[in-house]
Chain A
Amino acid sequence: MRLLHALTLLLAMSCKPPPAEMQHMPQADPARGKAVMERVGCAACHEISGIRWPKGKAGPSLRGFADQGLIAGRLPNRPDNLAAFVRDAPAVVPGSTMPAMPISESEARDVAAFLYAGRK
């Protein structure tokens, strides 16, 4: 029985790499990312884990973004894609309603790290 459990677990693990590894961003700082998001007001449109106010509804909720499938329904949810998207969404996903935001490339990586760190 225990063997069966272990096998099932192994099988489950082989399907999808653990999100923590795939979304590992060693050079980015989630705390700095949170400060950036507060400075530019991302939460005016999005509900975001770790940000208590506001919880904007004009855009989709970003709670627990690590589990999100595609970014904006188009891009694989990878750190490089996410960092590029939060900085200049229309350039990465043409036609995106979300505008380009006034943040630098390194700040964008911090923002992505913060989004991945958020729990549901």
Chain B
Amino acid sequence: MWRLSFMQEGNSELPEKSIVPVFDPAGPYAGSITILSWILITMACGVLLIVLAALWVALFGGERIRKKLGGAKAVWIGGIGFPVVVLTVLLVYGLSLTRNLTEPVPRTAMRVRITGEMWWWRVAYLDGQGRPAMIDANELHIPAGQPVLLELESNDVVHSFWVPRLSGKLDMVPGRRNILPIQADTPGVFAGQCAEYCGGPHALMGFVVIAHEPAEFALLMAGRRTKRPAGSAEGAALFRSTGCAACHRIAGTDANGMAGPDLTYAGSRRSLGAGILPNNRGTMMGWIGDSQSIKPGNRMPPYKMLSAAQLQTLTDYVRAQK
């Protein structure tokens, strides 16, 4: 998936061309899942070898050994005894290994509500009382080395939240709130992806998690809390008159649409279009001008009626929102 290549800036750990790294845990929750996955894969390979060997004996083996293998004793041992013992051991071990995923997280842990939408993510940082304190979209900032609790919800169909390096995948079911802990041990950028088919552009429903040093994270959040309206008055007027404000909110202005992603911090986002494109002036112009050619079927209409100057003004206005 080349579209992740833009995330590698300042993240030298990732290889030159990376697919979503599934077996490369960056925290304790993903860690236990990865260990269990390797054990399951190894054991499945072992069982496959045993079955293939038995098949070979059944086809080409000698008379005596075939008779032995076809007896009731072999069925009792190989068909019932062996699976019961192995699967029971595996179940107990697997549950204890991944216990950390269901263990209670400290009450002081940060909570974020992430709501699946067709085909993006609504992000709400919650305060101590569980009320949304800051709204963002498609990107999550977390402090490194601490567990963060995610409340996963959906506004339309079933989505599945998955950032493979930070935790397991968990469905977002309409009308339910599922809790998923995530943690990154060190600062970095981690790609996510919707893992449950949710319609047309499902494959282009990505997510970005950015883990910071705790002090740096506190600074970032403090800066966001004191955010003032930014960008030119001309841009703000255009944002209203072309209809952007009907779907997009920018805190501190009268743009308060809730149908599309919140753009209060759009200029500081690492990605565009829900984790699928790098965020720079050029890609932003392309997205506003004709997002349908980039992410066909998404709910933002193309704005082909804008003049080049209008497109530039609008782009600069959105990019000024940090």
Asked if B125 is at the interface (CB within 8 A of a chain A CB), the reply is no
Asked, given contacts A54-B294, A58-B293, whether A45 binds B286 with beta carbons under 8 Å apart, the answer is yes
Q: What total of chain A residues lie within 8 Å of the partner, measured CB to CB?
A: 21
CA distance A56 to B312 in the complex (A): 17
Chain-A contact segment, one of B161-169, B257-265, B273-281:
B273-281
The number of inter-chain residue pairs (CB within 8 angstroms) is: 70
Asked, given contacts A39-B9, A41-B280, whether A56 binds B3 with beta carbons under 8 Å apart, the answer is no
Establish whether residues B290 and A39, one from each chain, have CB atoms under 8 Å apart when the complex forms. Answer: no
Establish whether residues B294 and A44, one from each chain, have CB atoms under 8 Å apart when the complex forms. Answer: yes
Establish whether residues A101 and B293, one from each chain, have CB atoms under 8 Å apart when the complex forms. Answer: no
Asked if B217 is at the interface (CB within 8 A of a chain A CB), the reply is no
Residues of A within 8 A of B155 (CB): none
Residues of B within 8 A of A76 (CB): none
Main secondary structure of the interface of A (DSSP, over half): loop
Residues of B within 8 A of A71 (CB): none
Residues of A within 8 A of B60 (CB): none
Q: Which of B97-121 contact A (CB under 8 A)?
A: none
Q: Which residue of B lies closest to A55 (CB)?
A: B293
Establish whether residues B3 and A58, one from each chain, have CB atoms under 8 Å apart when the complex forms. Answer: no
Establish whether residues B293 and A35, one from each chain, have CB atoms under 8 Å apart when the complex forms. Answer: no
A97 partner, pick from B9, B272, B312, beta carbons under 8 A? B312
CA distance A59 to B285 in the complex (A): 10
Asked if B282 is at the interface (CB within 8 A of a chain A CB), the reply is yes
Establish whether residues A97 and B3, one from each chain, have CB atoms under 8 Å apart when the complex forms. Answer: no
Establish whether residues B289 and A45, one from each chain, have CB atoms under 8 Å apart when the complex forms. Answer: yes
Establish whether residues B286 and A59, one from each chain, have CB atoms under 8 Å apart when the complex forms. Answer: yes
B283 partner, pick from A41, A53, A57, beta carbons under 8 A? A41
A39 partner, pick from B6, B272, B286, B311, beta carbons under 8 A? B6
CA distance A39 to B16 in the complex (A): 11
Asked if B256 is at the interface (CB within 8 A of a chain A CB), the reply is no
Establish whether residues A39 and B278, one from each chain, have CB atoms under 8 Å apart when the complex forms. Answer: yes
CB distance from A103 to the nearest CB of B (A): 10
CA distance A51 to B290 in the complex (A): 18
CA distance A105 to B283 in the complex (A): 20
The 9 A-B pairs of least Cβ separation, nearest first, read A58-B289, A44-B286, A45-B286, A57-B293, A97-B308, A44-B283, A41-B283, A99-B281, A54-B294
